[in-house]
Amino acid sequence: MLGPPGAGKGTQAKKIATRLGIPQLSTGDMLREAVASRSTSGLRAKHVMDRGELVPDDVVVSVVTDRIDHSDTAKGFVLDGFPRTVPQAEALDQELATRGIKLDAVLELEVDEDALLDRIRGRAEEAANNGERTRSDDNPEVFKTRLDVYRAQSAPVKSIDVVTEELAAALAKSSPHQVRSNS
Ligand code: AMP
């Protein structure tokens, strides 16, 4: 499940995972747990997360691959917020290949940027109203950084080939005789 911060990846990934009866693997949740447990990797991640930047690829890749190796993923899993960089996507391809796992689908949420900022404000207010601790990175300043990071490092994860296939599919729908399939 890919998409900009505040798009609702976590909410939707949870719902989809529940429907499919498989776990949702959120790297954001895993990292927040690591921070809360004050583990060495958690303490390293905290500063980066508070600034709205990305935790180093090797840290995230090992966190997520360790999680994939738990037995509850045998029937599948929904990755939420991972991969977020091209090297992470490449590492994921390799790790899945060595385990003989095939990626079934890539879902990308697209949300208007003004709506994203409203959501982030809403999320912080809702957490405060429910007496929950607000996320330290859910504030307008850090959100700007998170959005910039998404544009620069995460948006390119969608490979050129995938985009080409989508464009061809969209064209084929509107003018079926003009697009030749590449197979
Ligand atoms: P999220 O809950 O998905 O919005 O993630 C919260 C924060 O955790 C992000 O702003 C990053 O600092 C960190 N994070 C989560 N997933 C990743 C990832 N795949 N790569 C690097 N950093 C991540």
> Terminus-to-terminus CA distance in the chain, angstroms?
27
Pairing label, strands 24-26, 78-80: parallel
Distance in angstroms (rounded) separating the CA atoms of residues 134 and 128: 6
Q: What is the DSSP string of 23-91?
A: -EEEHHHHHHHHHHTT-HHHHHHHHHHHHT-PPPHHHHHHHHHHHHTSGGGTT--EEES---SHHHHHH
pLDDT of 183 reads 45
Cα-trace Rg, the chain = 18
Asked whether 157 and 82 are in contact (CB, 8 A), the reply is no
Asked whether 142 and 1 are in contact (CB, 8 A), the reply is no
Q: From the CB of 3, is ligand 1 less than 6 Å away?
A: no
pLDDT of 81 reads 95
What is the 132 CA–ligand 1 centroid distance (Å)? 20
pLDDT of 180 reads 55
Q: How far, CA to CA in Å, does 131 sit from each of 40, 45, 124? A: 28, 25, 11
What is the 81 CA–ligand 1 centroid distance (Å)? 6
**CA 113-83-15 angle, 5° bins:** 70
Which residues neighbour 116 within 8 Å (Cβ) at sequence distance 6 or greater? 4, 5, 6, 7, 143, 147
Q: From the CB of 49, is ligand 1 less than 6 Å away?
A: yes
Q: From the CB of 52, is ligand 1 less than 6 Å away?
A: yes
Maximum Cα–Cα distance for the chain, whole Å? 59
Peptide bond before residue 56 is cis, with ω within 30 degrees of 0: no
Distance in angstroms (rounded) separating the CA atoms of residues 33 and 52: 17
Q: Quick one: DSSP state of residue 155?
A: G
What is the 5 CA–ligand 1 centroid distance (Å)? 9
Distance in angstroms (rounded) separating the CA atoms of residues 35 and 133: 14
pLDDT of 34 reads 92
Ligand 1: nearest atom to the Cα of 83: 19
Q: From the CB of 154, is ligand 1 less than 6 Å away?
A: no
Per-position pLDDT tens, the chain of length 183: 999 998 989 999 999 999 999 999 999 999 999 999 998 878 889 999 999 999 999 999 999 999 999 999 999 999 999 999 999 999 999 999 999 999 998 888 988 888 888 888 888 888 889 888 878 888 888 999 999 999 999 988 877 677 778 878 888 887 655 555 554
Q: From the CB of 5, is ligand 1 less than 6 Å away?
A: yes
Q: From the CB of 64, is ligand 1 less than 6 Å away?
A: no
